[in-house]
């Protein structure tokens, strides 16, 4: 059966071999095992359930969280020549009935549905006539209340499966899941003897960087100017911020779209379609945009504000470079971001145990924004990968373009101040003591009499707070949990206070980006023309990675082109000759 799976991979997707981790997951599913696959964005999770769906009898149900995701996937399947359809709230009842009837007749191999649909009695009645041999749960982290996209409707999936005439094989797929969330997925889906595959969380093609102390508007303008012609996403925390950045870029002549919950459904749909089809190259959005948007050629993701936790950040940042080509993930940090996220947690999370957990996770992303260690290592360690090199050379902190500053003396002053206030106060008050503030509360507590009072008067208050956050990120200090965390000495503090260990601060320089080749631009223009003609997004014609492969190998006939990764028989027949013509004319 696995040999058949390999043949389908070549026929429909144009690849001679599976990507890392895909073969193990597909083999497990084909053997009839309930399977949980944790695979980084861009690793090809969808192939892991699409190919088994073609080999199992009957129809496969793919439970997917968003209408846009379903449409995207079904459009892609149609381009590959795979029979698939979706059922969601955009359809009328008779359309739903007709599609289910066709599925029962074997006309479709994949049927995409939203989890909310599984609770409807009319849908349950109609599905009784289907032979459902396989159920794939996409974005499976949504089942856990400890995840960043918790959707209660995901908890109904197990009950739906129990109601089917025959229990199907179950597959669950996600890119971001800590150990706690993985346990929730297995338990709430009632997996039987589950096989769990973690193919790694690393996205080797992505460059991670945190930028602090910059004017965000100026930085964004400079960045998009230097990366003209490249698709990118700019995430902001609020609708107001989105509208502001969108207006700024439009005024400067950059083609961009926007997306947030304050827009009408039609406005959001039009904006999303324009971005997916490369009619606009920049999307400015809140986190309402992006889950399951399978646009493979996003070259950069900028976070204008710090997100609420590492899971949200890694999933959003991971929308860059899904095609395997280089992508950049830039997080612009400002002190106000912390206050904003705390306010949002306070206003939107009500259960005390969840609120406490959200504050804990917020501190983790704050530490990420201040660490001088390898950013990639920090991310991978968070998701449970411990055997990671200390330096990756593919993040802002490991880049050769930085300078080192010895801040041991400043660290000793801060640690000493924490000792003198007996670990009872937060970063704000400690910073004011070191600054020599005349704050009324500080004077009432007689902290102006401490030996550390005014020791860092030459610094700004924010500068001291930044150093405190840096020390916390590196383990010299630690924050307690909650809305108002208190500073304590960390595990590495004693060595610094004794003078046996130095503390260093890295300051990265800016890097320049490379321009794409002329041939690549010609093929990208052709791709856009074909996409417009076919009524599909450009990346469904060919992803950027395939265009780069074509530039590299320069095939001159049909046989040569079929050897290029990403070129399958179906696509070769539909528009392969047009690309060959461009290559020949280019010389």
Using an 8 Å Cβ cutoff, are 184 and 140 in contact? no
| Per-residue tokens: 496 | 């610094």
Question: Looking at residue 509, what is its pLDDT?
Answer: 52
Q: For residues 70 and 88, give the distance between their C-alpha atoms in angstroms, rounded to a whole number.
A: 9
Q: Exposed, middle or buried: residue 93 (CB in 10 Å: 0-12, 13-18, 19+)?
A: exposed
pLDDT digit string (tens) for 145-193? 776 678 889 999 999 999 888 899 999 999 878 888 899 999 999 999 9
Q: Exposed, middle or buried: residue 165 (CB in 10 Å: 0-12, 13-18, 19+)?
A: exposed
Whether the per-residue pLDDT at 515 is higher than 60: the answer is no
Using an 8 Å Cβ cutoff, are 12 and 573 in contact? no
Whether the per-residue pLDDT at 400 is higher than 60: the answer is no
Question: Looking at residue 512, what is its pLDDT?
Answer: 43
Predicted TM-score (pTM) of the model is 0.70
Q: What is the mean pLDDT of the chain?
A: 88
Phi-psi region of 209 (alpha: psi -120 to 50; beta: other; left: phi over 0): beta
Question: Looking at residue 192, what is its pLDDT?
Answer: 93
Average pLDDT over residues 250-262: 93
Which of 332-341, 433-442, 546-555 holds the top average pLDDT? Answer: 433-442
Whether the per-residue pLDDT at 399 is higher than 90: the answer is no
Q: Are strands 232-235 and 169-174 parallel, antiparallel or unpaired?
A: unpaired
Our CA angle for 533, 535, 540, nearest 5°, is 100
Question: Looking at residue 147, what is its pLDDT?
Answer: 65
**Residues 6+ positions from 181 with CB-CB distance below 8 Å:** 141, 144, 146, 147, 174
Q: For residues 318 and 311, give the distance between their C-alpha atoms in angstroms, rounded to a whole number.
A: 10
Our CA angle for 213, 218, 224, nearest 5°, is 120
| Per-residue tokens: 209 | 């960087």
Our CA angle for 144, 148, 151, nearest 5°, is 50
Whether the per-residue pLDDT at 516 is higher than 60: the answer is no
DSSP tag of 218: H
Whether the per-residue pLDDT at 402 is higher than 70: the answer is no
Concatenate the DSSP letters of all residues of 370-386 into one string: H--S-HHHHHHHHTT--
Which residues in 129-155 are b (16+ Cβ under 10 Å) and which e? ebebbbbbbbbbbbbbebbbbbbebbb
Q: For residues 430 and 467, give the distance between their C-alpha atoms in angstroms, rounded to a whole number.
A: 11
Average pLDDT over residues 94-101: 88
Short-list 160, 72, 63, CA closest to 112: 63
Q: For residues 152 and 145, give the distance between their C-alpha atoms in angstroms, rounded to a whole number.
A: 8
Q: Exposed, middle or buried: residue 370 (CB in 10 Å: 0-12, 13-18, 19+)?
A: buried
Would you tell me how many other CB atoms lie within 10 Å of the CB of residue 282?
A: 25
| H/E run at residue 338 | helix 335-348
Q: Where residue 130 falls among pLDDT bands split at 50, 70, 90? A: confident
Question: Looking at residue 148, what is its pLDDT?
Answer: 64
Secondary structure of residue 511 in the 3-state scheme: coil
Q: Where residue 366 falls among pLDDT bands split at 50, 70, 90? A: very high
DSSP tag of 13: I
| Per-residue tokens: 331 | 């997080």
Q: For residues 246 and 266, give the distance between their C-alpha atoms in angstroms, rounded to a whole number.
A: 18
Whether the per-residue pLDDT at 409 is higher than 90: the answer is yes
Q: For residues 140 and 181, give the distance between their C-alpha atoms in angstroms, rounded to a whole number.
A: 9
- Ordered structural domains, the chain, with CATH: 2-198 (3.40.50.300), 206-337+365-399 (3.40.50.300), 404-508 (1.10.10.10), 518-586 (1.10.150.80)
Q: Are strands 282-285 and 232-235 parallel, antiparallel or unpaired?
A: parallel
Question: Looking at residue 267, what is its pLDDT?
Answer: 92
Average pLDDT over residues 559-581: 88
Short-list 417, 496, 485, CA closest to 451: 417
Average pLDDT over residues 447-476: 92
Using an 8 Å Cβ cutoff, are 232 and 326 in contact? no
Helix segments in 200-334, DSSP class H? 216-226, 239-251, 265-276, 310-317
Secondary structure of residue 305 in the 3-state scheme: coil
DSSP tag of 119: G
Which residues in 388-424 are b (16+ Cβ under 10 Å) and which e? beeebebbbbbbeeeeeeebeebbbbbbbbbeebeee
**Helix, strand, coil shares, percent, the chain, to 5:** 50, 15, 40
Q: For residues 559 and 564, give the distance between their C-alpha atoms in angstroms, rounded to a whole number.
A: 9
Q: Where residue 19 falls among pLDDT bands split at 50, 70, 90? A: confident
Q: Are strands 300-303 and 504-508 parallel, antiparallel or unpaired?
A: unpaired
In the block, which residue shows the tokens 């980006």? 513
Q: Exposed, middle or buried: residue 517 (CB in 10 Å: 0-12, 13-18, 19+)?
A: middle
In this predicted model, which residue has the larger pLDDT, 42 or 61?
61
Question: Looking at residue 442, what is its pLDDT?
Answer: 93
Secondary structure of residue 65 in the 3-state scheme: coil
Short-list 202, 574, 190, 117, CA closest to 383: 202
Question: Looking at residue 511, what is its pLDDT?
Answer: 45
Least confident of 425-439, 448-462, 518-532: 518-532
Would you tell me how many other CB atoms lie within 10 Å of the CB of residue 352?
A: 8
Average pLDDT over residues 35-50: 88
Q: Where residue 321 falls among pLDDT bands split at 50, 70, 90? A: very high
């Amino acid at each position: 059966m696995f040999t058949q799976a390999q043949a389908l991979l070549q026929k429909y997707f144009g690849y001679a071999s599976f990507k890392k981790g895909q073969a193990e997951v597909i083999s497990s599913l084909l053997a009839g095992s309930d399977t949980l696959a944790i695979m980084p964005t861009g690793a090809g999770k969808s192939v892991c359930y699409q190919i088994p769906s073609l080999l199992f009898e009957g129809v496969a149900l793919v439970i997917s969280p968003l209408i846009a995701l379903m449409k995207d996937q079904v459009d892609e399947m149609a381009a590959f020549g795979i029979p698939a359809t979706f059922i969601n709230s955009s359809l009328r009842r008779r359309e739903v009935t007709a599609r289910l009837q066709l599925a029962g007749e074997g006309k479709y191999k994949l049927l995409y549905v939203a989890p909310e649909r599984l609770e409807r009695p009319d849908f349950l009645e109609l599905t009784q006539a289907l032979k459902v041999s396989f159920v794939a749960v996409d974005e499976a982290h949504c089942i856990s209340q400890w995840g960043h996209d918790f959707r209660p409707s995901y908890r109904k999936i197990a009950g739906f499966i129990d109601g089917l005439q025959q229990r199907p094989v179950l597959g669950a797929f996600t890119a971001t899941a800590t150990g706690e969330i993985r346990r929730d997925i297995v338990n709430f889906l009632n997996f039987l003897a589950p096989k769990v595959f973690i193919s790694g969380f690393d996205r080797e093609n992505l460059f991670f960087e945190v930028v602090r102390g910059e004017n965000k508007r100026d930085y964004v303008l400079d960045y998009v100017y230097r990366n003209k012609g490249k698709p990118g996403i700019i995430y902001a925390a609020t609708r107001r911020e989105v509208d502001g950045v969108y207006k700024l870029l439009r005024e400067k002549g950059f083609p961009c779209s926007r997306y947030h919950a304050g827009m009408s459904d039609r406005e959001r749909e039009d904006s999303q379609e324009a971005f997916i089809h490369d009619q606009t190259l920049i999307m400015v959005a809140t986190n309402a945009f992006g889950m399951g948007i399978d646009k493979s050629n996003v070259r950069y993701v900028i976070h204008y504000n710090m997100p609420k936790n590492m899971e949200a950040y890694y999933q959003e940042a991971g929308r860059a470079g899904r095609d395997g080509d280089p992508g950049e993930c830039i997080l612009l940090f400002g002190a106000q971001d912390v206050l904003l996220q705390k306010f949002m947690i306070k206003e939107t999370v009500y259960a005390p145990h969840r609120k406490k957990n959200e504050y804990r996770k917020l501190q983790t992303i704050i530490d990420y924004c201040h660490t001088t260690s390898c950013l990639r290592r920090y991310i991978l360690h968070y998701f449970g990968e411990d055997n990671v090199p200390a330096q990756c050379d593919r993040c802002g902190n490991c880049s050769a373009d930085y300078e080192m500053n010895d801040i041991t003396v400043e660290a000793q002053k801060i640690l000493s101040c924490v000792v003198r206030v007996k670990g009872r106060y937060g970063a704000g008050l400690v910073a004011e003591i070191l600054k020599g503030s005349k704050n009324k509360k500080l004077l009432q507590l007689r902290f102006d009499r401490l030996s550390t009072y005014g020791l860092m008067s030459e610094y700004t208050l924010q500068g001291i707070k930044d150093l405190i956050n840096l020390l916390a990120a590196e383990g010299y200090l630690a924050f307690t949990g909650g809305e108002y965390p208190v500073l304590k000495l960390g595990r590495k503090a004693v060595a610094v206070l004794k003078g046996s260990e130095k503390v260093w601060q890295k300051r990265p320089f800016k890097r320049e980006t490379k321009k794409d080749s002329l041939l690549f631009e010609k093929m990208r223009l052709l791709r856009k023309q074909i996409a417009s003609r076919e009524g599909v997004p450009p990346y469904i014609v060919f992803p950027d990675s395939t265009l780069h492969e074509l530039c590299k190998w320069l095939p001159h006939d049909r046989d040569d082109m079929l050897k290029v990764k990403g070129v399958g028989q179906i696509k070769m027949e539909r528009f392969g000759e047009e690309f060959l013509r461009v290559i020949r004319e280019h010389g």
